[in-house]
Amino acid sequence: MSSDDHKKTEEKGIKAIIDEAETYYAHGLLEEAIQLYHDVLSRPIELDAATQQNLVERVGQLELTLKELEQFHPSAFPESMLSVLKADWSDDAGIHEILGSADACCELGLFQEAVNEYRKLFTTNYPLSRLVPKLLKCFFQIHSAAKVMEAVEEMIELIRQHNTVTLIYAS
């Protein structure tokens, strides 16, 4: 293979990585996109000046966006506010109360709290066909796409542990 052929192959690989980074960005996976851009920038292949400048600017934009999002991240939600929300939640709450609190947490962006509430529904007769999509929505907000499968496997194991759960399909 000539050096020109090798360079063209390398350029196609770089283009594929950039496309993958943009796909990650489109799905809200900013950290993963930034990592891919850094990988491209750290490769020994010489990028033309315009491409390198574009990548550096893109990384800067994504890092700024990520920093802005972290300011409003649910983990920044004051613990005192969460305590107020939980004050009326009782351990013997019914399906509607649990579902209401879980949905409220989800709407507030408190996805881990929502998951904890939704999991309480495993011991009830709440239809799994309605519960699983709600949990998946939270999982995709909490975890990277690669980690969602692990969370789903944990959920399946929890469901198996609760013999009282029955499959009731929504009509």
pLDDT tens digits along 135-160: 999 999 988 888 888 888 888 887 77
Separation between Cα atoms, residue 74 and residue 53, nearest integer Å: 33
Q: Is the pLDDT of residue 22 over 70?
A: yes
Looking at per-residue pLDDT, the higher value among 87 and 69 belongs to: 69
Q: Is the pTM of this model over 0.75?
A: no
Domain boundaries, the chain: 3-71, 75-161
Report the chain's mean pLDDT, rounded to a whole number: 77
Do 41 and 56 touch, CB atoms closer than 8 A? yes
Do 110 and 82 touch, CB atoms closer than 8 A? yes
Do 110 and 142 touch, CB atoms closer than 8 A? no
pLDDT tens digits along 43-59: 877 788 888 899 999 99
- For 1-10, 82-91, 103-112, which range has the lowest pLDDT when averaged over its residues? 82-91
Cite the DSSP H helix spans in 27-110.
30-42, 49-71, 79-86, 95-107
| 34-38: Cβ within 8 A, 24+ apart | 34/59, 34/62, 34/63, 34/66, 37/62
